[in-house]
């Protein structure tokens, strides 16, 4: 009998020590949680267009408007440009400072695939290359279905255009973004 009573006391003592150990461990873990700082981790994903935009030379709208072909041969970034109107599904006219006539912008295949529609009154940032306009360029746009035959005649009045690889809409103007 005595051995059973001794075992019961030992069992109760073991249970009490086990509860105290769990409580102590819980308090310790709570203390660690309170004392620890949550690390702030910034995850930056950079796409190919982001790295292109970062390597582009920023050109003021007035500088581009004065002589677009002076910027040919280099990747440029033009910020806060006003959209005058859309032409088809992949081109639009912009208003540049210091220029009376609108300036033509054409989206490359990657930007066009993103289905970003711009319309009159939108403000955009553009990254791309200046190209000379020619009848063969307009023919290629028409053959691709991005402009109509009437729009082809309209774009051939431009002497140069900006072929963009990246387009960021800064502010939507609320105009018709569907294109002509």
In a domain, 164, yes or no: yes
- Same domain as 112, residue 36: no
Q: Looking at residue 27, what is its pLDDT?
A: 92
Q: Domain residues for 149?
A: 48-171
- Same domain as 75, residue 27: no
In a domain, 136, yes or no: yes
Give the count of domains, the chain.
2
- Same domain as 157, residue 71: yes
Q: Give the residue with greater pLDDT, 114 vs 156.
A: 156
> Is it the case that residue 49 has pLDDT exceeding 80?
no
Q: 163: burial class by Cβ within 10 Å (0-12, 13-18, 19+)?
A: middle
Q: Looking at residue 52, what is its pLDDT?
A: 64
- Same domain as 162, residue 86: yes
At 19 the three-state DSSP class reads: helix
In a domain, 7, yes or no: yes
Rounded Cα distance between 114 and 3, Å, is 82
**Domain harbouring 96, CATH code:** 2.40.50.140
Average pLDDT over residues 18-26: 91
Q: Looking at residue 89, what is its pLDDT?
A: 85
- Same domain as 93, residue 32: no
Q: Looking at residue 104, what is its pLDDT?
A: 94
- Same domain as 96, residue 165: yes
- pLDDT digit string, tens, across residues 24-47: 999 998 888 888 776 665 544 444
In a domain, 179, yes or no: no
Mean pLDDT of the chain: 83
Q: Give the residue with greater pLDDT, 33 vs 92.
A: 92
Which segment of 44-48, 98-102, 110-114, 141-145 scores lowest on mean pLDDT? 44-48
In a domain, 102, yes or no: yes
Q: Looking at residue 40, what is its pLDDT?
A: 61
Q: Looking at residue 39, what is its pLDDT?
A: 63
Rounded Cα distance between 47 and 110, Å, is 12
- pLDDT digit string, tens, across residues 158-179: 999 999 998 888 876 654 444 3
Q: Looking at residue 53, what is its pLDDT?
A: 66
- Same domain as 16, residue 52: no
* Contact in structure between 61 and 97 (CB atoms under 8 Å): yes
In a domain, 177, yes or no: no
In a domain, 178, yes or no: no
């Amino acid at each position: 009998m005595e051995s059973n009573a001794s075992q019961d006391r030992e069992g109760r003592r073991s249970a009490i020590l086990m509860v105290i150990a769990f409580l102590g461990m819980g308090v310790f873990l709570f203390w660690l949680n309170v004392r620890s700082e949550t690390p702030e981790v910034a995850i930056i994903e950079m796409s190919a267009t982001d790295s292109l935009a970062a390597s582009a030379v920023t050109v003021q709208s007035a500088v581009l408007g004065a002589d677009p072909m002076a910027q040919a041969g280099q990747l440029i970034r033009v910020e806060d440009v006003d959209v005058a109107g859309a032409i088809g599904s992949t081109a639009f006219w912009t208003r540049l400072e210091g220029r009376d006539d609108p300036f033509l912008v054409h989206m490359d295949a990657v930007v066009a695939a993103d289905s970003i529609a711009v319309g009159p009154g939108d403000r955009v940032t553009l990254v791309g290359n200046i190209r000379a306009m020619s009848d063969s360029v307009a023919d290629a746009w028409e053959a691709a279905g991005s402009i109509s035959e009437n729009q082809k005649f309209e774009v051939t009045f431009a002497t140069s255009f900006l072929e963009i690889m990246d387009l960021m809409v800064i502010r939507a103007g609320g105009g018709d973004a569907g294109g002509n």
